[in-house]
Structure 1
């Protein structure tokens, strides 16, 4: 990343000339942003977005372009991949609002609880198409209701006059494509997913083939079974017969016509916190005793926030999940380099969560919103079903967890930027 304050200052003052007028052509799959359309395209969007803040003269930006455009192609219809030229005079103020000091700076925008004020975070992952795609997919909002045999009647009776879409599938969690469809039709069609094991719910609809998509027009109208390809475009066309997609609409219960202020959109989201009753690992021996024969879920707490307090909904589920998986907190300062390498942990200002099997030597990273009860619940369910990709690691030694020296603050390294 180019991170030279003198260059940035000179550029802002107009002392340097750009090498090119722009980097992405009108035919590029990357959405072109400006200060005029940024709010409508990104801040008010119901979709997850990733935005590159770049300068055309930046060598790292040019090197990133092929991977970024490939990511945009792979994420088409799922999330927004966009870029804004910070070298343009009309865009400089917008880039400054988001604290851009070097190029390329990449940030993700996930719709928040308040319309027009998404959760903004820096993307620090690999500067590869796969790395970008994998990360952005985890940011797609989930408006899909998981329905089972006990809740199917309630689901059908609620808002009976509005259209519903139900996917019958062998998968335990909603796919990125299905979640993206639910975003497209947010507040127009209610989306649900029923697993193949829910035999009573299947009997209500007579479904025997998986996956099967059924649309319920609403009221007394009979359901319609989709018989096309399980791809987003034809599925969207089918669902459009029952309701029209919504370009953008507040994703909150309180919907107001008042224009939201964007003055605080660059504020960092509140630090994720967890139930203070989740115990810390006192020693490697205790860790092995609890997690040697079963999966454990670890909360790696950052140096800046070692004391955690509860988030009501998230912790209500975590406390239930303890029946299946033991939960522990591990302060960042207590971890050995070996442990950090094994779990691929990087220093962070927010807590990190990993599921770990010491016996089988694998870990699974949680990439969702740490404040989202629904996303964490889906992750736990997928973990139980074995649907999540596992990262293998070598056997951990006895020095994995080492207590920090008393009264010593952890040493913070200077921020590092990925090399392209």
Structure 2
């Protein structure tokens, strides 16, 4: 009997040891996230689209322009480019955007089965691929149209290059150091009934 009790305690000890090793690795990450004040992930500013919401989101946006990034989550090039794209998207999307309502920055994951027809419709041949145009033109887009308002962004491989391309298209001078425009920094105009 003492041998079986010994084996039982030994098995229990090994089990506890294995659990403590796996917990300690995970808990170190949790502690690091808690110290940094984040969960390790930066929020996405680009709007994730798929075949079910693509038309409705682009049809309903008030922004006059949209950029759609077609990517594959498994692609190293796409993973490396994501922070670059997010840096530009931060200027135009989200509650803290410096220039909200001008461009809707979106992304479609072509590696997902649900999006295969959508990616085929836009003739996605490489990743990442970027298209620019009025949002409503994406909804009714026909690949056979020759005179389309949708343009392919050929050279947008860094945030600086992509923002430069956008500035050229819009005749603007947006920059990454642009701050959010806040009304509380304006002087109060008592003669304006809208401010009273």
Q: Which residue, out of 32, 47, 51, partners 1:35?
A: 51
Give unpaired runs (5+ residues) of structure 1: 1-24, 141-172, 177-229, 236-240, 243-420
Residue 53 of structure 1 is matched in structure 2 by 70
SS in 1 for 2:150: strand
| 1:133 matches 2:163 | yes
Residue 97 of structure 1 is matched in structure 2 by 121
**Separation (CA, whole Å) in 2 of partners of 1:101 and 1:42:** 22
Query: Given the superposition, is the C-alpha separation of residues 139 and 33 from structure 1 closer, same or farther in structure 2, using an over 3 Å criterion?
Result: farther
More helix by share: 2
Q: Equivalences for 1:63-82 in 2 at 5 Å?
A: 63-75=80-92, 76=97, 77=100, 78-82=102-106
More strand by share: 1
Residue 331 of structure 1 is matched in structure 2 by none
Which of 1 and 2 has greater Rg?
2
Cα contact 1:54–1:87 (8 A) shared by 2: yes
**Separation (CA, whole Å) in 2 of partners of 1:89 and 1:112:** 24
Query: Given the superposition, is the C-alpha separation of residues 87 and 111 from structure 1 closer, same or farther in structure 2, using an over 3 Å criterion?
Result: closer
> Relative contact order (C-alpha < 8 Å, sep 6+): which is higher?
2
Query: Given the superposition, is the C-alpha separation of residues 231 and 53 from structure 1 closer, same or farther in structure 2, using an over 3 Å criterion?
Result: closer
Query: Given the superposition, is the C-alpha separation of residues 116 and 96 from structure 1 closer, same or farther in structure 2, using an over 3 Å criterion?
Result: closer
Q: Equivalences for 1:294-309 in 2 at 5 Å?
A: none
SS in 1 for 2:68: strand
Query: Given the superposition, is the C-alpha separation of residues 122 and 70 from structure 1 closer, same or farther in structure 2, using an over 3 Å criterion?
Result: same
**Separation (CA, whole Å) in 1 of partners of 2:71 and 2:172:** 34
**Separation (CA, whole Å) in 2 of partners of 1:84 and 1:38:** 9
Matched residues, number: 129
SS in 2 for 1:119: coil
Cα contact 2:59–2:136 (8 A) shared by 1: no
**Separation (CA, whole Å) in 2 of partners of 1:130 and 1:174:** 14
**Separation (CA, whole Å) in 2 of partners of 1:124 and 1:99:** 14
Query: Given the superposition, is the C-alpha separation of residues 134 and 110 from structure 1 closer, same or farther in structure 2, using an over 3 Å criterion?
Result: farther
**Separation (CA, whole Å) in 2 of partners of 1:116 and 1:45:** 15
Query: Once superposed, which parts of structure 1, at least 4 consecutive aligned residues long, lie more than 6 Å away?
Result: 173-176
SS in 2 for 1:91: helix
Q: CA deviation at 1:98?
A: 0.4
SS in 1 for 2:106: strand
**Separation (CA, whole Å) in 1 of partners of 2:129 and 2:172:** 30
Q: CA deviation at 1:134?
A: 2.2
SS in 1 for 2:61: coil
Q: Which residue, out of 234, 248, 256, partners 2:183?
A: 234
Q: CA deviation at 1:44?
A: 5.1
Give unpaired runs (5+ residues) of structure 2: 1-40, 142-147, 185-192
Residue 110 of structure 2 is matched in structure 1 by 86
Q: CA deviation at 1:91?
A: 0.9
Query: Given the superposition, is the C-alpha separation of residues 102 and 139 from structure 1 closer, same or farther in structure 2, using an over 3 Å criterion?
Result: same
CA RMSD of aligned residues (A): 3.5
**Separation (CA, whole Å) in 1 of partners of 2:116 and 2:182:** 37
SS in 2 for 1:67: helix
Cα contact 1:44–1:116 (8 A) shared by 2: no
